[in-house]
Amino acid sequence: MRDFKCIGKSLMAISSAISLLVMTLLVSLGGSSAYAEQSLRFSSANPGGAWYILAVGVTEIIKKENPDFVFSIEPGGGYGSPIMVGEKKVNMGFAIAGSASDAIEGREPFKKKFSNIRSMGSLYIHYIQGAVLKDSGIKDFGDMEKKKLTSGPKGQISWFWVNKFLELYGIEADVRSLDFGASAEAVVDGHVDMFFIGVPMPYGPMSNLAMQRPMRLVTFKEEILDKFCKEIGGFKKYNLPKENIPYKGTEEGLITVGTPLIIITNDEESEDLIYKCVKAIAENISELENVSAAMKGFKPEDLAKDAGVPLHPGAMKYFKEVGWR
């Protein structure tokens, strides 16, 4: 009788093992009853910032259409994100097109070429802006000779851009390192003369500055803007009429340069993965208006606009499929 019991227990163990093996095979073969999660890493910026909030929105709409995708959001920033993508530490992430172009070519501030970077699509434009108090007497960026300015924390990509403008104008200024909110307050309090940054409009700290003190955006000489665009990839000139300047009290239009925020990946990510991600973003793009004011009115076909960075084949496949390329 004991032998029969032992045999029964052995048969049950064998049956359980076979069942587990069958379930594993079903998952690996794409069985309808289960799926394998795919872990993905997305580089953005520090938690709480505009990029981080937008990254949450982008990854959520991708997951909505692809429930097997699981994202973690990593801090990267305008300078760090292209490096993280180029070194394959993340699967995809945000970057300024100008920075991604510089990373591909190995231009400053990047120390080597990351020629494997590819674009998944373009989002809103980051405009170069220099805010000063209206009664400061500063009207053009060239008036900043020997004056004080801040462009956010040292090492941020705007820090590199402001130093390029100083070089092109052939002037010197005292560039202070402050976080973005403190940069605006420093102008209000008179501790610095200018807050310089490349961001979408409207930008919260800039709006707060304009609410507290009469403010103007400085002009830039067009020949300087042309040189900047020639030396820094991914930028082009924009002539913004005054009605498009969203800050209180600004009475003039602005000729400046801008570069889009793009989603980047590396050239070894699969065509199928990138196609699914781009398709999900395009078909749900209006949901991003709820997480970023800069995305209001954004048209899905604008994702396919040329940003000066080569497209990943998966993105190109979708854009051609819908007639945007």
Tell whether omega for the bond before 214 is within 30 degrees of 0, i.e. cis: no
Task: Compute CA distances 154 → 123, 167, 188, whole Å.
Answer: 25, 17, 21
Task: Compute CA distances 264 → 129, 138, 269, whole Å.
Answer: 24, 38, 11
Q: Which sign does the torsion angle of CA 61, 67, 72, 77 carry?
A: negative
Q: What pLDDT is attached to residue 3?
A: 45
Structure-block tokens of residue 45: 């910026």
Q: What pLDDT is attached to residue 66?
A: 97
Identity at 246, one-letter amino acid code? P
DSSP-derived 3-state class of residue 106: coil
Per-residue pLDDT reduced to its tens digit, 234-260: 899 999 999 889 999 888 899 999 999
Q: What pLDDT is attached to residue 252?
A: 87
Structure-block tokens of residue 117: 């970077």
Q: What pLDDT is attached to residue 153?
A: 82
The parts of the chain modelled with pLDDT lower than 50 are: 1-34
* Long-range CB contact pairs, 79-85, < 8 A, 24+: 79/109, 79/155, 79/156, 79/157, 79/160, 80/43, 81/43, 81/44, 81/264, 82/110, 82/114, 82/117, 82/264, 83/110, 83/114, 84/43, 85/43, 85/114, 85/117, 85/264, 85/265, 85/266
Identity at 125, one-letter amino acid code? I
Q: What pLDDT is attached to residue 12?
A: 41
pTM for this prediction: 0.81
Q: What pLDDT is attached to residue 92?
A: 98
